[in-house]
Chains A and B, each alone.
Chain A
Amino acid sequence: MEKKDHIISILVYNKPDVLARIAGTLGGKGYNIDSLCVNTTTQKDISKIVMTTSGSQATVTRIENQLQRLVDVISVDDLTNVESLHREMVLVRLNRTAQNTEAVKDAIDANKWKVILSGDTFVIIEITGDKTQIDFALARLEPFGMADITRTGLVALKLED
């Protein structure tokens, strides 16, 4: 069966160990979590988890069913085939040297990258976008030698209910 990436949006009661339960359930049954984002929603006792995983449709259905069994899970939604917006963010620290200062500046201007902090020896850039945009930006940044990066998991939002 065809394997593909799936985006799963999970509403949960905001209990202390709910994340451990979700990670444990999936890990214990041999499923992978590729990325994960968690935070509260407009209701303070409810959190939303957006998770990406890959597998066949049957595997993903099994994952959804396993999650649905958890007492603190309110709903599980596969956003893969519904209209939704996707964003990730990455923070990149580039080392600034006498040799590359000009080139870095040019690249930042040309790509309209957002600099959130710069010092004598470094510059920190923030990039948001969907997966392709981020991958593209990272490829562009590659030649400058990225000292460190932190990339969030994917967040997704349905266009309508």
Chain B
Amino acid sequence: MKLKGTQVLLEVLKEEKVEIIFGYPGGAVLDIYDELYKSDFRHILVRHEQGAVHAADGYARATGKVGVCLVTSGPGATNTVTGIATANMDSIPLVVFTGQVPTGLIGNDAFQECDITGITRPCTKHNFLVRTIEELAATIKEAFHIARSGRPGPVLVDLPKNIMAAQIDYDPAAVRIRNHEAVYKPAPKKMANVLEMLARAQKPLIMTGGGVILGRAAEELTRLARRYRIPVTGTLMGLGSFPASDSLWLGMLGMHGTYYANMAVSTCDLLLAVGVRFDDRVTGTIDTFAANAKIVHIDIDPSSINKNVTVDLPIIGDTKAALADLLRFLEEHHYEPESAARRDWLAEIDEWREKAPLTYCQNGEIIKPQFVIQTLSNLTGGDALITTEVGQNQMWTAQFFGFDRPNSFITSGGLGTMGFGLPAAIGVKSAFPDRQVVDIAGDGSIQMNIQELATAAQYNIAVKVVLLNNGYLGMVRQWQELFYEKRYSHTDMTYAPDFVKLAEAFGVAGLRATKPGEVEDVLRQGLAMDKPVLMDFRVSREECVYPMVHPGESISQMALGTREMIN
């Protein structure tokens, strides 16, 4: 059939089963928007292109599918960069379509021209500039394939205006693309090695990461831990890949991990690290990390192996396939842990757990942020899909919410992008309109993409913002308190809008709690509303996130807390 470039684009999007496009129009994509107008594609008009990418990213993290954005050339394209870098650091599958000036003008500094493939080369998994109408369909198909195969990631496709207007005889059956899928080869020798290491270990520990969620391997990982009674800790990106309500769960490890998780890592003699990349926020000083352990590292990306931490046994492959392979092997070889040794190990961990549980102290008339999160967790039965902003709000959520399911905790881990949570929540909620979707926010971060409240209001995407309003850039203030003798240089955010009024101005409900006694009521009320709501919780201004590994320290050396926390 004879189709225009714009029609080919929408045809391929249909073939790829795209449900929603998050986007923002402009000159270079007018033709595409005209085609959208004639089609029944669901398109959500954001208020800033960064918001479009975060929304597609939230959609992708919650559904496991590829998120899709469409923006114009020049400033529209450059506005996506933070979102793309965010997705890239966390290996999230996206396809971002950018408009481009006509091919004949590329290189001329034409109006709204920018070399977006050049700009995003280091922060995409791959990108394309489509040069001819003949390569259009295959390029888009390949972009989707690349985004979701192997270690996923964002792919950008730059679409010059003249190519979208050109015509071609489109035959979907004739489109050929290269295969980028990584094939997992069963590795019986390596499995035998793991068995041997497990049999020898007295104190094994599993460390689960984002790769387990991306690889849909949470079930296998959970089975491995439960079947052989191996305790589990996780990275920020791994939260939800093992149920937090299970007694084998130790919570997050690393800088703001639990004392017992960090002690377990520092003491274990075998570490099974699955789908992790040993980020410096996780390891503390490298030479003391898991210093007593043999390390088995399962990851799909060979470049993650021995990058930060030198491991004893690397297993390269898809986490799901590799864990299934391991489970089968252990079963076939009748591996059973030695029960006395395992009991002692779990008892040792329980002692650490009792010595320094995760805690805070909700007394007096000031709301503690942790109390808000815990109440939210209780009220939603842990069933909500949670996004966060970045800073203390993010760390407290990781510590206190308790995630039982994969794809339910959605946060910018690698890049730490403030302003991520609200648009991401919009993306999540548009995929799951019947689920409770909450952005746990800080007052600094929320102001970075607050314009997206208008998007939520326009489409009645009933996201809930739980704003932990401390009037500070809290996490930075915490570092200034601890390491700069309380010189709070430019972190006081007392000058802020009245968030309740602001919400209302956007057409969103606004609620406020200023006392601990009001927290539950406000949450109940906000959660019950069938529209977007911003809940402004005026929380304790100088609360710190504890426990904490100070930068440059070993993770076994944790500062457990101060003053009223352990009173």
Interface residues of A (CB under 8 A from B): 16-17, 20-21, 24-25, 28, 58, 61-62, 65-66, 68-72
Contact = CB atoms under 8 A, between A and B. Distances in A.
Interface stretch (B300-308, B437-445, B505-513): B300-308
B52 interface: no
Interface residues of B, number: 17
Contact of A17 (B117, B125, B302, B306): B117
Contacts of B118: 17, 20
Contact of A65 (B121, B122, B131, B303): B303
Given A20-B118, A28-B122, A71-B180, 18 more contacts: A16-B129, A16-B131, A17-B117, A17-B121, A20-B121, A21-B121, A24-B121, A24-B122, A25-B122, A61-B306, A62-B303, A65-B302, A65-B305, A68-B303, A69-B303, A70-B126, A71-B126, A71-B146
A15 B64 CA distance: 30
A62 B121 contact: no
A65 B303 CA distance: 5
Nearest to A27: B122
B100 to A, nearest CB: 14
Contacts of A70: 126
A14 to B, nearest CB: 13
Contacts of B146: 71
Contacts of A69: 151, 301, 303
A61 B303 CA distance: 9
Nearest to A21: B121
7 contacts: A17-B118, A20-B121, A21-B121, A24-B122, A69-B151, A69-B301, A72-B126
A57 to B, nearest CB: 11
B307 A71 contact: no
Contacts, number: 32
Contacts of A68: 302-303
Nearest to B301: A69
A68 B131 CA distance: 25
A72 B178 CA distance: 10
Given A69-B301, A71-B146, A71-B180, A62 B307 contact: yes
Given A17-B117, A69-B301, A58 B125 contact: no
Among B129, B146, B151, B307, residue most surrounded by chain A Cβ atoms (within 10 Å): B307
Looking at A20, A65, A68, A71, the one whose CB has the most chain B CB atoms below 10 A away is A71
Interface in B93-138: 117-118, 121-122, 125-126, 129, 131
A53 to B, nearest CB: 16
Interface string B394-409: 0000000000000000
A62 B117 CA distance: 25
Contacts of A65: 302-303, 305
B306 A58 contact: yes
Nearest to A58: B306
Contacts of A66: 303
A34 B301 CA distance: 27
A1 B371 CA distance: 51
B138 to A, nearest CB: 13
Nearest to B307: A62
A25 B125 CA distance: 11
A73 to B, nearest CB: 11
B125 A71 contact: yes
A151 B473 CA distance: 55
A69 B306 CA distance: 15
A70 to B, nearest CB: 8
Most buried by A among B118, B122, B146, B305: B122
A101 B431 CA distance: 82
Contacts of A17: 117-118, 121
Considering the complex of A and B, which 10 residue pairs feature the smallest CB-CB distances, nearest first? A65-B303, A71-B126, A65-B302, A28-B122, A24-B121, A66-B303, A69-B303, A24-B122, A71-B146, A21-B121
Nearest to B121: A24
Interface in B269-321: 301-303, 305-307
Interface string B511-554: 00000000000000000000000000000000000000000000
Contacts of B122: 24-25, 28
A16 B106 CA distance: 14
Contacts of B129: 16
A150 B122 CA distance: 31
Nearest to A15: B128
B347 to A, nearest CB: 39
Nearest to A72: B126
A28 B302 CA distance: 19
B413 to A, nearest CB: 19
Nearest to B142: A71
Q: Which of B121, B131, B303, B307 has the most CB of A within 10 A?
A: B303
B351 to A, nearest CB: 38
